[in-house]
Structures are given as structure tokens and as C-alpha cells.
Amino acid sequence: DAGVTQSPTHLIKTRGQQVTLRCSPKSGHDTVSWYQQALGQGPQFIFQYYEEEERQRGNFPDRFSGHQFPNYSSELNVNALLLGDSALYLCASSWRTENLEQYFGPGTRLTVT
């Protein structure tokens, strides 16, 4: 039973560029949430996708956008990268939008130079 997978593992980008991160949820899960974790901090909720729609959004600018595909996988896009976007980006999956535990992937480490 495959867990949550994310790609790529590491990424280095330059300020102003755009980046796309990918996530495949755990088998049987249909809801994907994205979190940003700065060094030494706890993860912060970016947004959640269910039935291919953004259902909830945290306090992040419109430069952060996402998509969910019919197979429940998801992408996180960040435009006009800033140095402050350097962080570990975590994807988590769960079943429906029930208030249950979420299963996290290993994350994508993004460095913006």
C-alpha cells in the first residue's frame, strides 16, 4: 500500500521564477492538503483540495495556486518566487474532508536564491 509520495525531493530556483510541486495521495484517499514549513517552525496550512476544487485556504497570497486531478493527485504552483518562499513543502492526504488524521509525504525542499 503506497503512502503519500512527493516530487521532486529537492529544488533550487531563482527569485522571480515559477515552480510546480507534485503529490500523490495515499491509496484510498481523495483529499489533499498542502503545508509550508519554514526552518525551525511548524507547518502552515496553504490549501486543501477535494473533488478537484479548492475547499479551504490558509493565509497565503494568490501566487500560491493548486490543482487536483481526477486520480486525486495534486500540484502546488508558486509564481514569482521570493526568498521567503524557501521552505519544506509538505503534502498530506486524508479521506474526504473528515476531521481525521492526515498522512504526510516526505516533502519537497525548495530553496530560492
Partner 1 sequence: SQQGEEDPQALSIQEGENATMNCSYKTSINNLQWYRQNSGRGLVHLILIRSNEREKHSGRLRVTLDTSKKSSSLLITASRAADTASYFCATVPGGYNKLIFGAGTRLAVHP
Q: In the complex, which residues of this chain contact partner 1 (CB under 8 A)? A: 4, 31, 33, 35, 39-45, 48, 56, 58-59, 88, 90, 92, 94, 97-107, 109
Among residues 18 and 51, whose Cβ is nearest to partner 1?
Answer: 51
Distance CA 99, CA 111 (A): 32
Spell out the residues 6+ positions from residue 102 whose beta carbon is closer than 8 angstroms to its own. Answer: 33, 92, 93, 94
- Rank residues 17 and 56 by Cβ distance to partner 1 and give the closer one: 56
DSSP code at position 25: P
Nearer to partner 1, 4 or 78 (CB): 4
